[in-house]
A and B are shown apart, each in its own frame.
Chain A
Amino acid sequence: MTVLEYMKDHLLFLDGGMGSLLQNMGIKPGEHPERWSVSHPEIIEQIHLDYFNAGCNVVNTNCFGANTLKFDAEECDRIIKASIENAKRAAARSTNPEPKFVALDIGPCGKLLKPYGDLDFEDAVECFAGMVRSGVKHGADLIFIETMNDSYETKAALLAAKENSDLPVFVSNAYGEDGKLMTGATPAAMVAMIEGMGADAIGCNCSLGPAQLRGVVDELLANASIPVMLKPNAGLPKDVDGRAVYDVLPDEFAEEIVTQIKAGVRVAGGCCGTTPEYIKALTSKAEGLEPLPVYPKNKTVVSSYTHAVEFAESPILIGERINPTGKKRFKQALIEKDIDYILQEGVNQQDAGVQILDVNVGLPDIDEVSMLNNVMYELQAIINLPLQIDTADAVAMEKALRRYNGKAMINSVNGKEESMKAIFPLVKKYGGVVVALTLDEGGIPATAEGRIAIAKKILETAASYGIDKKDIIFDTLAMTISADPAAALATLKSLEYIKNEMGCHTSLGVSNISFGLPKREGVNSTFFAMALERGLSAAIMNPYATDMLKVYYAYRALHNLDENCADYIEFATNLVETAAAPAQAAAAKTPEDFKSQLQKAIVKGLKDQAAEVTGQLLATTDALEIIQQEIIPALDIVGKGFEEKTVYLPQLLMSAEAAKASFEVIKANMPSGQSIDKFPMVIATVHGDIHDIGKNIVKLLLENYGFKVIDLGKDVPPADIVAAVIENKAPVCGLSALMTTTVPAMEETIKLLAEQAPWCKVVVGGAVLNEDYANRIGAGKYAKDAMDTVRFADSVEI
């Protein structure tokens, strides 16, 4: 009998703590407990045996951290082999008549993944894959991923388990007192991702006592369609006369868990501080209890690394602005790899209120696979909204889905055989909610009936891949009414049918409806309202279109989806304020002792005002004149003040940001092909160093002064810096380091530059450097601060 068969109609009991028992047996502080599987097999076997005899069905092998980041590969395999053998011997010896299973225990690898740590996602997958392969080889019955406090690492481990075995996989996370993982994910977000990838059970363990985990368990139970596990600590350790005492005793522990079994938990055991006595108390108290059935929740959910977004009654807004189609400035950003511009577009949409961001970076002549992957990674470093991966390139799609932290939205599949064959296996493997377009080899049917037929075909095919209809959202394709007056009605009719008769969620790219018509806003927002009323679940839209937002907030208020109309009132209030703001700005027209209003806005660091005034000036003044007569003199006032120590760093930066806002307006209005840049300059924080605030400040100021900055980011290998200098024929390269330990990397970079790009002058800066040190490592110039770098760059003759 397999563990999954047994679980169908039994509660499954897990073991309790291992570490605290080993401490009693004399393990030294800091000693690796995993090694005891090999050095003290009889002790480990005895602990397993005590747990089995206390009534548990599954013991976790003593190989929590037996991965290649801590041990060499050969030792890992040896530890895992011994760990499984110890547990199997204990199972054979146990007097417990119930079926017994041995779980390959996989704990966190000990390092945090990028972008916050330094471990690459694929390296983490490979690290866990080694454990899984050993576990399979030596006969584990199931895989138990536990104590994970980061969603991304959880994904890496689960992916490794799925790619290297057919064993059942249980996944358990360690939640903090705030009910979230250390990196921020809620239980609902973890359910979305873990269930989407096909785990067999989900739960929580460690960190807290059983009562404190109740909220987490409730959220898991409310969202999961697979069995829920609870494996808490015996409370928290208290210092009693220098001895550690856990504050929840066996009876109290067991009683609390039984309460939660009655609420739906089907798999239970203990973690730190629990002993066979706790498990005995639990199995005795739970005797005769029947597990509650697991029923499918049928929720359509996507997630980010922090939270889940559910498609339900309240409509979902998907921001469409990360897309080069028809956007000159965005295309330029993609070509120049100006990721910051794209990030800003993401942040602006989040501020405008969208719940999901569509990400499309497809452009002829760019490497979409790496660009999509890179943009997604950068977006996930700073924006916590779930993403909708939007690409027609199946390779780019797979790579993005693999590395996405959460359960992504996938845009899109359609009724063509070829499309379904490419996309459905990805949905099955990585999880996700896929947008299905109702078109196929025959094109887009003109009638609702034709689109509904395609939708049915798509659902059937998805089912054959094991994909549930809850993970499919249909887009019945808004086509412009300027070409076909019946187009809107066909879209709406099929939408209504799919929602009500087929029970699937729907999404539309609303604004297509008015293509070719004048004053499109009214048509778009009316169509949006009509579609919502017929059951539209989500809209891919421009969140800066106020008319669309008016419909969205009003619809929610009218449908009793907005308690006390609070969201509507907040939206409406902001709307009034924004409308009033220009009037105020216009009223404050005294430039005081400043030459002009733009100069004042920049010197005072007023971003919005700087942008607005620049826009007004452009109507009457040439762009270059604005730069020469207004922006640069303003920057000089502040820069000089900074050098004379009458202006401090924050003020300098606020002014620089205001100037940048002004430049953005100028760039957006610049005819394509024309550039205002001085020479290109490559900057980077050197290899091994992750401190980039100083470098970012330098970048901002250099851009202000008209340099084209190629920012390679942080922790950049010397060869990459040299390659960028050569590619851009950069006359100057700026290197930053904060730590003494990374100065050698700086020196190495300078050496390599001297060999391969001898024309390039190197300016260095950072907390550990000074004039002397800079000379010693061969730098051409030491800059004491950002202004110093600007002055140096300006002095370079080319």
Chain B
Amino acid sequence: MTDTVFIKNYIEPPFDTSEILRYMGCKEADPEVLKLVEGCINEVRSSLTYRVCYRQFTITEKDGSLDLAFVVSQSEGLRRNLGGCKSLILFAATIGLEIDRLIAKYGRLSPSKALCFQAIGAERIESLCKSFNDDMKETLAKSGFGTRPRFSPGYGDFPLEVQKDVFRVLNPAKNIGLSLNDSLLMTPSKSVTAIIGISEGSQSCIANERCDKCDKTDCTFRRL
């Protein structure tokens, strides 16, 4: 365990247009929609940042709960995810405030563009998390450790309230310009906080991190 929060800046991950279209609720795109997506990417691209801050914590068993050193968790979902892990990485990632400004601007003036920027933001922050995950996986593998799929406050029975503890120990406001409001929402909105379990042995869990773990089977955006 280290007592310091580390900060990393990543280079722009490649854009995944099909993901952006999926977030827009578009199963097939006509040329006008593709033009819209392309135009929005060009408009926002240079103002995006890819920043992550993170810190390592040890995990101990405590009266049937998991003591994660920054919070004691009763979540069964998290227990399954972290089974066999002795430590974890807690991280916060953001692509910055500029995309929120564009979403706000076009929310007032052109909802189609607002929708598009929402989708781009979702795809960007997911891609950033993937970059960070891959980076950690690679680093930890060198010392003989593997990683688990990321797990965020608000997933299943792991309460969103934990955000307060996350913000207390990572200080993301100072480190990457990310803050939490009274409703436990983050600003910039295109941000993620999550735990990555560190497992013994360099084998990493490669389970699909997304749709098949989710209970909402009637979701519009669900991957088949």
Contact = CB atoms under 8 A, between A and B. Distances in A.
B69 to A, nearest CB: 7
Interface of B is mostly: mixed
Contacts of A688: 183
Contacts of A236: 7
Contacts of B105: 347, 381-383
B88 interface: no
B6 A237 contact: yes
B108 interface: yes
Given A30-B168, A242-B1, A605 B112 contact: yes
Contacts of B181: 111-112, 117-118
Nearest to B164: A30
Contact of A650 (B26, B103, B180): B26
Nearest to B31: A604
A111 B181 CA distance: 7
Interface stretch (B145-153, B169-177, B203-211): B169-177
A654 B32 contact: yes
A649 B115 contact: yes
Given A242-B2, A657-B111, A697-B115, A648 B187 contact: no
Interface in B83-129: 96-98, 100-101, 103-105, 107-112, 114-116, 118
A654 B36 contact: yes
A638 B117 CA distance: 22
Given A112-B187, A243-B2, A741-B183, A648 B112 contact: no
A176 B177 contact: yes
Most chain A CB within a 10 A radius of its CB, from B5, B111, B177: B111
Contacts of B30: 651
B191 to A, nearest CB: 12
Interface string A174-187: 10111000111000
A700 B109 CA distance: 10
Contacts of B24: 648-650
Contacts of A116: 97, 100-101, 187-188
B26 A649 contact: yes
Interface string B177-218: 101111111011000000000000000000000000000000
Contact of A110 (B70, B96, B179): B179
Contacts of B115: 649-650, 653, 693, 697
A347 B28 CA distance: 31
Interface in A628-675: 648-651, 653-654, 656-657
B49 interface: yes
A665 B183 CA distance: 41
Interface in A371-407: 378, 381-384
A648 B104 contact: no
A184 to B, nearest CB: 7
A634 to B, nearest CB: 15
B4 interface: yes
Contacts of A347: 105, 109
A344 interface: yes
Contacts of B28: 648
Contact of A343 (B108, B182, B185): B108
A382 B185 contact: no
Nearest to B117: A693
A692 interface: yes
Contacts of B101: 116, 381-382, 384
* Chain B interface size, under 10 / 10 to 19 / 20 to 34 / 35 or more: 35 or more
A739 B183 contact: yes
B70 A692 contact: no
A206 interface: yes
B109 A650 contact: no
A697 B3 contact: no
A168 B152 CA distance: 45
A326 interface: no
A244 interface: yes
B3 A112 contact: no
B56 interface: yes
A690 interface: yes
Interface in B1-29: 1-7, 9, 24-29
Contacts of B112: 605, 650, 653-654, 656-657
Contact of B32 (A115, A117, A147, A605): A605
B141 interface: no
Contacts of B1: 242
B165 interface: yes
Nearest to A658: B112
A23 B101 CA distance: 37
Contacts of A696: 107-108, 111, 114
A660 to B, nearest CB: 9
Contact of A648 (B26, B118, B185): B26
B169 A29 contact: yes
Contacts of B188: 116
A290 interface: no
A182 B96 CA distance: 8
Given A23-B3, A176-B177, A239-B2, A184 B169 contact: no
A108 interface: yes
B32 A693 contact: no
Nearest to A112: B179
B33 interface: yes
A742 interface: yes
Contacts of B173: 108, 110, 112, 149
A182 B112 CA distance: 27
A284 to B, nearest CB: 27
A656 to B, nearest CB: 7
B56 A648 contact: no
Nearest to A110: B173
Interface string B40-57: 000000000100000111
Nearest to A20: B4
Most chain A CB within a 10 A radius of its CB, from B49, B108, B110: B108
B177 A693 contact: no
A425 to B, nearest CB: 33
Nearest to B71: A30
A239 B111 contact: no
A174 B179 CA distance: 15
Contacts of A182: 96-97, 177
Interface in A443-493: none
Q: Which 10 A-B pairs have the closest CB atoms?
A: A182-B177, A244-B4, A653-B112, A382-B105, A30-B168, A118-B181, A648-B26, A112-B179, A30-B169, A649-B25
20 contacts: A23-B3, A29-B70, A111-B181, A117-B181, A117-B187, A118-B182, A118-B183, A149-B174, A183-B97, A237-B7, A343-B109, A344-B109, A381-B104, A605-B112, A650-B24, A650-B36, A653-B111, A657-B111, A696-B108, A697-B115
Given A20-B4, A23-B3, A108-B173, 13 more contacts: A29-B3, A112-B179, A149-B177, A178-B49, A184-B98, A242-B56, A243-B2, A343-B109, A650-B25, A654-B33, A689-B183, A696-B114, A700-B111
